[in-house]
Amino acid sequence: MRLNNFSFLLILFALSLIHETAVGAVTTPPLTLLTEEWPPFNYTEKGELKGFATEVVKLIQKELNTNYAVELYPSTRGMNTFENRSNVMFFSFIQTPDRKHKFKWIGPFGEQSIYFFKKKGNPIIIETLEDVKKVRRICCRDQGFVFNFLKSSGFKNLDVGVNPEGIYLKTIHGRCDLSIGEDSWGVAYWLKKSNLPPDALQKTSVKISSSPLYIAASLDIPDQEIQRWQKALDKVKASTDYQKINLKYKDHDL
């Protein structure tokens, strides 16, 4: 059977599409999605993973027609897994100078501001980080962005713990002068979980960070896949669903 030029070109075009599809399937590996307990962005409630970032990631996956499960780890174990396993994404992540070149980045999908909190009625006055260094004791977690910032900034008065809820309870019970760990949304979440009034803690004027939040990705994930996720996120952020999620979690602000 003889083929005319037009038929021959059609066959070549079809073969090129098949080749591109096959190459895409090979170069887009299955992904592992990781997160940690960091309300209100990612947290568990009655065994179900919830949070602002969790819902955004679900919308991204809906756009991409994927359904990767999200694995929840304690902060330290999550970071170890992230840094030692291939084809991993981790949310919610703050981009710092030492992290910037260690990962690929998708975002930002939101933002946070982390302040020091004191017990309601505590007359202590702090206006600068130097003031904070002079208080008796500060409660914080033993790993993560906040801990690393405080240690690198020369804080010697840290009372560290693994239980995020406990760092605020210690301040309420007078064991610490200040607590720091989450932004206002997260503090409100832990107070509610502890059956405490939302004004049991008072936000001070001193903060250590106002930062955008990202999905961080391991360097071995192809750039093409990072771009797909970024485009999907951009589409999600322009949607009414994203606006509804944003308003939903801002209702928990202090």
Q: Is 8 exposed, middle or buried (0-12, 13-18, 19+ CB in 10 A)?
A: exposed
DSSP 3-state assignment of 229? helix
For 113-209, CATH gives 3.40.190.10
Query: Do the beta carbons of residue 183 and residue 246 sit within 8 Å?
Result: no
Whether 184 contacts 253, CB under 8 Å: yes
pLDDT of residue 173: 96
pLDDT, position 7: 52
Per-residue pLDDT tens over the stretch 163-182: 888 999 999 999 999 999 99
Tokens 């981790």 identify what position? 90
User: Residues 107-134: pLDDT tens digits?
Assistant: 999 999 999 999 999 999 999 999 999 9
- List the domain boundaries for the chain: 29-112+212-250, 113-209
Shared fold status for 29-112+212-250 and 113-209? yes
Q: Which residue in the block uniquely carries the two structure tokens 């309420």?
A: 172
User: Helix or strand or coil: residue 60?
Assistant: helix
CATH architecture of 29-112+212-250: 3-Layer(aba) Sandwich (3.40)
> Does residue 230 contact residue 109 with C-beta atoms inside 8 Å?
no
Q: Distance from CA of residue 187 to its chain's centroid?
A: 15
pLDDT tens track for 184-202: 988 998 999 899 999 999 9
Q: What is the pTM of this model?
A: 0.80
Token pair for residue 163? Answer: 């239980």
